[in-house]
């Protein structure tokens, strides 16, 4: 196997010439309020020295644990290891958040230099025989009855982390494992960068105003400003969601919809320097080789061992059951949209670039409602205020914006979060609008985790990053209904981080099973369709008029609009993910052919030439959802079942909210998620609430 070069000559010179010092704002104490990151002082040249310092410090701490002359115990081995590497964790938290949200070519190069070094650092720990010997000694001899549930979980997790990352391999296989893991870390970075490059490179430039027919004034105004910023005449539509989605829903020019749809769906599949086909093949094959090196038949077998689903059979059963339930409804929905298109003069079979356009017309016909009618009632500041108000009603927490806290971009807002007793709970950052330095999508991260050590409770610093409609010169940011749902979803993740009350860093916040992590986020979306919640904030941005009751009734009535089709789309992603990760031989042949076979059961519309889900499927090829995309559907089962308790007791019921906070949000990964869920719900989850809510069951 080809040996991987770990660091370039240029980077080595930079590292050797920039030693850690008091002048590096990433090192030492952060002087901003609540230990906030000094974003205003950090420059790109500070990162590599801080990474080097953090890795050196971490290695010294690990060597001290491994070489401790005292007999191994939970405290001097397991807990000590979990608390080690604090400086590196802090630097990584800052850098990798910014490399996603506010990157530049220099940061991207730093990421390419440091990622293999971090992989090597991690491997040096998990492949350390002396250290693993101490961990195994504690694992084999521990009196688990004397441990708290959280301690028992940390012991189990630490031991498995080592065995699942090569600790039990032969020396020759450890060398192979190192090379595979190092190469994989670089490939994932490549995949992500290719998608960002292609997203930023494209703009649909329109110079004839007749081609804007059907588009709402807000989308036209945004496009005019975008064109001006790009130095173009006329109007420019990009592949960022606030630009792409309104165009696909409302633009009457079918050929331009086809052009924009195609550009969006061929990212990473154009045979250029940013093509991801071979990157995918190598990622999938390395994952398989690594899993088989560790004794598993497939990568999915390896990954699902640490999931609620447990094995591929359970995932397959869930996806198949939901496919059987949703496909008949999706087929009926397709016929409805096709009939609507015919009523509007379309004498052709629907193509994927027609779906959003004609389904939006059908929604207007059935419910007399659309996103543009709702936007005036979804002013961004009001939505944020409503979400904060919901958190206060449910959990008693309050948010205070503090403009003295440094941020990394003018769009970012920073808030102090306080518990009902007035104690400081967290810092919360909101970064909500698209720009070229930010990848697409929406996510939550922690810049600093929560944990307790030596009597001190380190409170977390949490960030939500989205790509929502921006304000224009004449209007504030007015959101689509789906964008408001995005805020609720990501804020649910944020609550999971902010309300964490754990002892150990690796178990706190969102450090939970992948198919459990979406429960706190997806359950929040339910409130977005509740009248009592909408009445809290939804008012016209110009007149101050509350959203009319009949409009709320239409929102509620339309909540099951095209749910079959939406379910089928999510199942398509989940089945494609599982197809890639249940192979037991190296992936060969065409990526396009593999994808076509994997998703055939879920498709209702014909494929567009060159379109590929795989080549921009960042969830599984550059993030942490490999063999885990099914978790969105898994979590839908959990959240529908859990929200049924709120519906029964009252959507603002304090006792229900307190139980959800105490048993789910505050516990992180300190206990098995099924036990936490049953403690809240009183029973294991069932699929019934989801099928009923989606309209698949009376």
pLDDT number for residue 370 = 87
Residue 17 has pLDDT above 60, yes or no: no
Which value, to the nearest 10 degrees, does the dihedral of the CA atoms of residues 51, 57, 59, 65 take?
-150
Label residue 686 by pLDDT band (50, 70, 90).
confident
Mean pLDDT (whole number) for 632-644 = 94
Q: What does the angle CA 232 – CA 237 – CA 242 come to, to the nearest 5 degrees?
A: 135
The pLDDT score that the predictor gives to residue 15 is 37
pLDDT per position as a tens digit, 241-261: 999 999 999 999 999 999 999
CATH tag, 9-126+128-164: 1.10.1370.40
Please answer whether residues 578 and 634 qualify as being in contact, where contact means their C-beta atoms are separated by less than 8 angstroms: no
d(CA 246, CA 235): 14
Asked if residue 86 has pLDDT above 60, the reply is yes
Using CA atoms, how far apart are residues 99 and 619, in angstroms rounded to an integer? 16
86 within 8 A of 53, measured Cβ to Cβ: no
Q: Which residues contact 638 (CB under 8 A, 6 or more apart)?
A: 516, 519, 522, 523, 677, 685
Residue 310: CB atoms within 10 Å: 12
Catalytic annotation on 306?
no
Q: What is the DSSP letter of 442?
A: -
Query: How confident is the model at residue 692, as a pLDDT?
Result: 86
Is 209's pLDDT higher than 70?
yes
Contacts 24+ apart (CB under 8 A), 357-365: 357/248, 357/249, 357/250, 357/251, 357/252, 357/254, 357/257, 359/562, 359/565, 360/249, 360/250, 362/336, 362/337, 363/558, 363/561, 365/340
pLDDT greater than 70 at residue 612: yes
Distance in angstroms (rounded) separating the CA atoms of residues 433 and 431: 6
Angle at CA 137, nearest 5°, toward 133 and 142?
A: 155
| Confidence category of residue 578, pLDDT binned at 50, 70, 90 | very high
Mean pLDDT of 1-20: 35
Q: For the range 361-367, what are the long-range contacts, defined as Cβ-Cβ under 8 Å and sequence gap of 24 or more? A: 362/336, 362/337, 363/558, 363/561, 365/340, 366/558, 366/561, 367/554, 367/557, 367/558, 367/561
Mean pLDDT (whole number) for 629-638 = 94
pLDDT for 698: 59
Residue with tokens 């027609």: 354
Please determine, for residue 21, whether its predicted confidence score (pLDDT) is greater than 70: no
- Is 375-557+631-693 in CATH node 1.10.1370.40? yes
Angle at 687 between CA 684 and CA 688, to 5 degrees: 105
The pLDDT value recorded for residue 22 is 61
pLDDT tens digits, 275-306:
999 999 999 999 999 999 999 999 999 999 99
- As a whole number of angstroms, the distance between CA 324 and CA 317 comes to 10
> Would the pLDDT of 7 be above 50?
no
Which of 102, 416, 490, 671 is catalytic? The answer is 490
Q: Boundaries of CATH 1.10.1370.40 in the chain? A: 9-126+128-164, 375-557+631-693
Q: How far apart are CA 195 and CA 191, in angstroms?
A: 7
**pLDDT average, residue stretch 226-237:** 97
Q: Please give the average per-residue pLDDT across 410-426, as a whole number.
A: 97
pLDDT given for residue 16 in this prediction: 37
User: Using CA atoms, how far apart are residues 166 and 178, in angstroms rounded to an integer?
Assistant: 9
| Cβ atoms of residues 461 and 37 within 8 Å | yes
pTM to 2 decimal places: 0.92
């Amino acid at each position: 196997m080809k040996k991987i070069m770990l660091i370039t000559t240029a980077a080595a010179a930079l590292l050797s010439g920039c030693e850690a010092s008091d002048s590096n704002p990433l090192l030492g104490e952060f002087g901003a309020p609540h230990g906030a990151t000094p974003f205003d002082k950090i420059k790109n040249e500070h990162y590599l020295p801080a990474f080097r310092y953090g890795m050196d410090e971490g290695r010294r701490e690990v060597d001290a644990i491994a070489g401790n002359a005292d007999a191994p115990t939970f405290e001097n081995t397991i807990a000590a290891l979990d608390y080690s590497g604090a400086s590196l964790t802090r630097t990584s938290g800052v850098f990798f958040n910014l490399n996603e949200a506010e990157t530049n070519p220099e940061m991207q190069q730093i990421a390419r230099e440091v990622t293999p070094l971090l992989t090597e650092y991690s491997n040096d720990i998990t492949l350390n025989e002396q250290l693993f010997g101490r961990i195994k000694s504690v694992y084999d001899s521990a009196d688990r009855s004397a441990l708290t549930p959280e301690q028992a979980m940390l012991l189990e997790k630490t031991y498995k982390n080592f065995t699942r990352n090569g600790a039990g391999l032969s020396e020759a296989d450890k060398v192979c494992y190192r090379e595979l893991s190092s190469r994989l870390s670089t490939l994932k970075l490549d995949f992500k960068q290719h998608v960002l490059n292609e997203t930023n490179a494209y703009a649909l430039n329109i110079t004839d105003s007749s081609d804007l027919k059907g588009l709402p004034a807000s989308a036209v105004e945004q496009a005019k400003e975008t064109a001006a910023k790009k130095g173009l005449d006329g109007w420019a539509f990009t592949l960022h969601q606030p630009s792409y989605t309104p165009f696909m829903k409302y633009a009457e020019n079918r050929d331009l919809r086809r052009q924009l749809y195609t550009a969006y769906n061929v990212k990473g599949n154009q045979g250029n320097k940013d093509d991801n086909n071979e990157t995918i093949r190598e990622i999938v094959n390395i994952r398989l080789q690594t899993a088989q090196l560790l004794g598993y038949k497939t990568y999915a077998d390896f990954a699902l061992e640490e999931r609620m689903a447990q094995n591929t059979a359970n995932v397959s059963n869930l996806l198949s059951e939901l496919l059987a339930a949703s496909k008949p409804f999706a087929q009926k929905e397709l016929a409805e949209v096709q009939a609507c298109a015919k009523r509007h003069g379309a004498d052709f079979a629907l193509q994927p670039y027609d779906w959003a356009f004609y389904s939006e017309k059908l929604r207007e016909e059935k419910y007399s409602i659309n996103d543009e009618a709702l936007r005036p009632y979804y002013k961004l500041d009001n939505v944020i205020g409503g979400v904060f108000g919901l958190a206060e009603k449910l959990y008693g927490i309050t948010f205070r914006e503090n403009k003295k806290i440094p941020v990394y971009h003018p769009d970012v807002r920073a808030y102090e979060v306080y518990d009902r007793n007035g104690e400081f709970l967290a810092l919360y950052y909101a970064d909500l609008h698209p720009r070229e330095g930010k990848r697409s999508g929406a996510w939550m991260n922690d810049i600093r985790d929560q944990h307790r050590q030596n009597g001190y409770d380190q409170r977390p610093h949490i960030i939500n990053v989205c790509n929502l409609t921006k304000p224009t010169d004449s209007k504030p940011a007015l959101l689509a209904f789906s964008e408001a749902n995005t805020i609720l979803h990501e804020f649910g993740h944020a609550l999971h981080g902010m309300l964490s009350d754990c002892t150990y860093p690796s178990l706190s916040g969102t450090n939970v099973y992948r198919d459990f992590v979406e429960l706190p986020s997806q359950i929040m979306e339910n409130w977005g369709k509740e009248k009592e919640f909408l009445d809290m904030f939804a008012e016209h941005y110009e007149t101050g008029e509350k959203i009319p009751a009949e409009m709320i009734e239409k929102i509620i009535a339309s909540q099951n609009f095209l749910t079959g089709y939406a379910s089928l789309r999510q199942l398509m992603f989940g089945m494609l993910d599982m197809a890639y990760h249940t192979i037991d031989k190296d992936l060969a042949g065409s990526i396009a052919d593999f994808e076509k076979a994997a998703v055939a059961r879920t498709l209702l519309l014909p494929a567009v030439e060159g379109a590929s889900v795989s080549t921009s499927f960042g969830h599984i090829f550059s993030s942490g959802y490999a063999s885990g995309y099914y978790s969105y559907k898994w979590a839908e089962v959990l959240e529908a079942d859990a929200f049924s308790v709120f519906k029964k007791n009252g959507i603002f019921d304090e006792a229900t909210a307190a139980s959800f906070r105490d048993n789910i949000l505050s516990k992180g990964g300190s206990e098995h998620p099924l036990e936490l869920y049953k403690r809240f719900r009183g029973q294991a989850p069932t699929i019934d609430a989801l099928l009923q809510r989606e309209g698949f069951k009376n």
